[in-house]
Amino acid sequence: MSLRAGFLGLGAIGAPMAAHLARRGPLVVWNRTGERATEFSTRHRCRAARTPRDLAAESEVVITCLPTSQDVERLLDGPDGLLGGLEPGGLFLDCTSGDPATSRRIASRLAERGVTFADAPVSGGTNGAEAGTLTVMIGGHPDTVARAREVLSAFSSRIEHMGPVGTGHAMKAVNNALLAINILAAGEGLAALVKAGVPARTAVAVLNLSSGRSFVSEALVPERVLNGSWPRTFRLALLDKDVRIARDLLGDAGVAGPLVDLAGTLLGRARAALGEDADYMEAIRLVEQEAGVEIRG
């Protein structure tokens, strides 16, 4: 890789993304919980920076993957903040599933320092991150996008330019709102079918041969619900955050969004009931509990 890279946020998806970057060239990492960064740097033979500022000072491209855009913005400031270390000419790629308005503000603050920004959220899940086959939906100036491609291709097989800064986050929020609606709807429909006496596996098989199928029914339900495995790969709290971003996006665009609104309300309830560490597919567990049925088979 021709640019020296710095990566902040070694969480469920950030860590496997950063691991690909470590294989491509020199990498420096930072994580809020320092032990995670130390462990990662030992395993992947790269450096762990003491502060975000130190990381920025060593990097030509800074990549963030944090829960929210607000978390990213907060890392800019203070004596140890990124702004203290960033040099003019630098590139800042935010792979957080964030929100367009905060990203536009971050972009203009960075532009004052001569640093270019793009929002570059990803889809494909932790499996896609491990395999290096994520899809990146990027928002930014075409020159920034062209510069970003080499770095992003370390962990992605498709990089799609959506438009100006903020449009990557808008795309991601709408995608995840549709994912949430599909999860909730699949849970409700399958719970009702099982209660009506249809074996769960048969219901899923027929759905997947019919027009009501989705990624949820084809991949997620067979892998996680039918066998009751509920692995924790993507926190329900993060999907709830994505649906809130989509709600704001629809509101700002003057689009009535009753389905997205309702999905947000239901996910908010699920988050309150199941906690911050629950996986997103556990929203179906709550549907099961409330219906008094298990979708297994």
- Find the helix or strand (DSSP H, E) in which 297 lies: none
Tokens of 221: 């339900």
CB of 67 to ligand NDP, least distance (A): 5
Contact between 65 and ligand NDP by CB under 6 A: the answer reads: yes
Segment lying near ligand NDP (by CB under 6 A), choices 86-94, 107-115, 119-127, 247-255 = 119-127
Tell me if residue 241 is catalytic.
no
Residue type, position 121, single letter? P
Contacts 24+ apart (CB under 8 A), 132-135: 132/20, 132/156, 132/157, 133/157, 134/17, 134/158, 135/159, 135/160
Q: How far is CA 229 from the centre of its chain?
A: 22
Exposure b/e, 88-116, CB count within 10 A at least 16 = b: eebbbbbbbbbbbebbbebbeebeeeebb
Segment lying near ligand NDP (by CB under 6 A), choices 136-144, 149-157, 229-237, 282-290 = 229-237
Q: Indicate which single residue of 192, 233, 268, 274 sits in contact with ligand NDP (rule: CB under 6 A).
A: 233
Segment lying near ligand NDP (by CB under 6 A), choices 80-88, 136-144, 216-224, 234-242 = 234-242
Exposure b/e, 143-157, CB count within 10 A at least 16 = b: ebbebbeebbbbbbe
Q: Indicate which single residue of 5, 6, 7, 9 sits in contact with ligand NDP (rule: CB under 6 A).
A: 9
Contact between 135 and ligand NDP by CB under 6 A: the answer reads: no
Contact between 217 and ligand NDP by CB under 6 A: the answer reads: no
By beta-carbon proximity to ligand NDP, the closer residue of 65 and 190 is 65
Catalytic residue among 104, 161, 172, 271: 172
User: Which string of x and - marks every residue 11-40 that binds ligand NDP (by CB under 6 A)?
Assistant: xxxx----------------xxx--x----
Residue type, position 70, single letter? Q
By beta-carbon proximity to ligand NDP, the closer residue of 84 and 189 is 84
Give 25's contacts (C-beta < 8 A, 6+ positions apart).
1, 2, 4, 5
Residue type, position 82, single letter? L
The CA radius of gyration of the chain, in Å to the nearest whole number, is 20
User: Which string of x and - marks every residue 95-114 that binds ligand NDP (by CB under 6 A)?
Assistant: -xx-----------------
Catalytic annotation, residues = 172
Q: Which residues bind ligand NDP (CB under 6 A)?
A: 9-14, 31-33, 36, 65-67, 71, 75, 96-97, 122-123, 125-126, 233-235, 238
